[in-house]
Structure 1
Amino acid sequence: MTLMCCARIDRSIIGLLNSTDDIMEDSTVAGDWILDQIADAVIFADRLGTIVRWNRSAVALFGYAGAEAMGQSLDLIIPPRLRDAHWRSFEKAVTAGATRLNGRATLTRATHKDGRQLYVEMTFALVLDPHGGVCGSVAVARNVTAGVESEKSAALRRDVDSLSFGAALVRLKSRSNPHADSANEGYR
């Protein structure tokens, strides 16, 4: 009886594995699964900059549900002060068939649905059809806001510490000078 139960379980597991193998052979389904489950935000926009693909991590990063983002302009997540520069670069890349960064990551700003400004590290690539024509652009984004803000705070603390050290040196120098004018103390 126990052997029979295990045989049934084994057959059901094998059936599940076979069906998964069949599904994975369909590259479209596998690609959908991968894009939906990857930890980084993936955004695909057509040649006009209209969002066509928006994965689960894009939802988490930018706050817009897929239904809210799909069909919208990339302006949805681009801060207003960066839009002109973005569109100039976007149009130049689509026309030239190449991006300026060649796949290198860049740090930029983005806007969350709730209005917060984010620091995001992004890579960009053009998506080409089989004949080399540009279909659109894909961006992969990661939230690095906490790290950037932490670095900025540390730099500010270093600046304050160096200013404090400098002020202490000025005071020390003034004390060692018996002819220091008290009205100008601290400015020497």
Structure 2
Amino acid sequence: MTAMTHDASDTNTVSDADAGTEFAGWIDELPDGLVVCSRDGTIREVNERLVEMSGYGAEELVGASIDVLVPTRSRDKHAPLRKGFVQGNQARPMGPGMQLSLQRKDGSEVPVEISLSPLSAGDRDGVVAIVRDVTERLRAESVLKTTSDLLTLAGERERIARDLHDTVLQRLFGLGLELQATAIRAQSDVSERIERSVDEIDLIIREIRTAVFTLGSAGREGSLGQELATVTAQAKRVLGYSPRVRMDGPVETAITPEIRTELLASLREALTNIARHAGATEAEVELVATDVLTLRVLDNGRGVPTELGTSSGNGLHNMAERARLLGGGCTLSPRPDRGTELSWWVPLAQ
């Protein structure tokens, strides 16, 4: 390679060796790999970045075929493609739309992008290839795609959980209350079958609520107050009036998903029992959270029948069992003036 400078009186010629040194100096500053090949694919020049990427020494690459850097599986196809580029004599990216790889000396591969340019330099005609390592970019794209897929999945899970909670669960609650209201007026054998159906609905509700929390919708179920309002609103169809609701303490944040499920099911049982047995004209629901969560359901009805206790009647038995499984308990007692007080409690995690 020769460079010429002219003035009015003299012509200075820079030697090929000096020009080669200058060329090698600036190509080694490139952030990407560079390889210069002759028209037949013999490597003439490489920069330090290409040496680093390939694992070969510069002295091993210069004079070797460019095919040493081509993955073994692709070498048979590479020769005709290289000849086609030389004949076309036009700069372009190599293999657009394809995932290209450079084969290292140890046989491993590096994902790369390659840009090709024809080199016209007299008897040194050939091809210049710029080789860019895209390992980090592909890794970042993979992480981005994974994140996007996870967000899409999370959104779909949230939608399913929302539909289950806002539609399916509420309809099941309403159906359970309607069945219990029907059981009050039904004959004893029919009433028992209805009670068994209601128990099955309770199991389905538990399973669906477990699925809702598993799907990741626990965070969006922010307001226990809203759920209590829904249950009491549905109970109005059975009672003929709306129970008052009062909460005291950090009820919203203190309860776990498991407690929440059993609490709401027990409240529904308690309100249904008032409709069935109490003959009350008003009822009150109190929730208090300290180190124990206590649910109190009060009514002004006829009081506790002598034959009724937590050991008899499906509803009371179910409430007591729910509390027991969570380490708590359930009692039913007469109020001093008139009516009944049901107390249901479970311990809260400290």
Under TM normalisation by the shorter chain, which class is it?
A: 0.5 to 0.7
CA contact (8 A) 2:93 2:114 kept: no
3-state SS of the aligned residue for 2:41?
coil
What is the TM-score of this pair, normalised by structure 1? 0.66
Of 112, 119, 132, the match for 1:120: 112
Structure with max Cα Rg: 2
Count residues with an aligned counterpart: 157
Q: Which is further off, 37-46 or 62-71?
A: 37-46
- The equivalent of 1:44 in structure 2 is 36
Could you give the per-residue CA deviations for residues 101-120 of structure 1, whole angstroms, max 9, x where no partner exists?
49x9x973222223333222
Counterpart residue type for residue 61 of structure 2:
A
2:24 aligned with 1:32, yes or no?
yes
3-state SS of the aligned residue for 1:138?
strand
Counterpart residue type for residue 118 of structure 1:
V
- The equivalent of 1:12 in structure 2 is none
CA contact (8 A) 1:54 1:66 kept: yes
Q: What value does the CA root-mean-square deviation take over the aligned residues?
A: 3.4
2:49 aligned with 1:65, yes or no?
no
Q: Write the distance in 2 (CA, Å) between the matches of 1:98 and 1:38.
A: 22
What is the TM-score of this pair, normalised by structure 2? 0.38
CA contact (8 A) 1:63 1:113 kept: yes
- The equivalent of 1:141 in structure 2 is 131
Task: Give, in angstroms, the shift of residue 55 of structure 1.
Answer: 1.9
Task: Give, in angstroms, the shift of residue 134 of structure 1.
Answer: 8.1
2:143 aligned with 1:153, yes or no?
yes
Q: Write the distance in 2 (CA, Å) between the matches of 1:169 and 1:114.
A: 50
Q: Write the distance in 2 (CA, Å) between the matches of 1:123 and 1:99.
A: 8
CA contact (8 A) 2:119 2:128 kept: yes
Asked which structure has the greater RCO (Cα within 8 Å, sep 6+), the reply is 1
Q: Write the distance in 2 (CA, Å) between the matches of 1:135 and 1:113.
A: 27
Percent identity between the aligned chains?
23
Could you give the per-residue CA deviations for residues 141-185 of structure 1, whole angstroms, max 9, x where no partner exists?
222211221121121121122112212212322342347x98xx9
Task: Provide structure 2 residue ranges, at least 5 long, that are not aligned to the other structure.
Answer: 1-13, 173-203, 213-350
Structure 1 runs of 4+ aligned residues shifted over 6 Å read none
Q: Write the distance in 2 (CA, Å) between the matches of 1:61 and 1:101.
A: 19
Task: Give, in angstroms, the shift of residue 100 of structure 1.
Answer: 4.1
Q: Write the distance in 2 (CA, Å) between the matches of 1:116 and 1:161.
A: 34
Could you give the per-residue CA deviations for residues 85-128 of structure 1, whole angstroms, max 9, x where no partner exists?
543432111122224449x9x97322222333322233211112
- The equivalent of 1:111 in structure 2 is 103
CA contact (8 A) 1:107 1:122 kept: no
Task: Provide structure 1 residue ranges, at least 5 long, that are not aligned to the other structure.
Answer: 1-21
The change in CA–CA distance for 1:32 and 1:164 in structure 2 (over 3 A counts) is: same
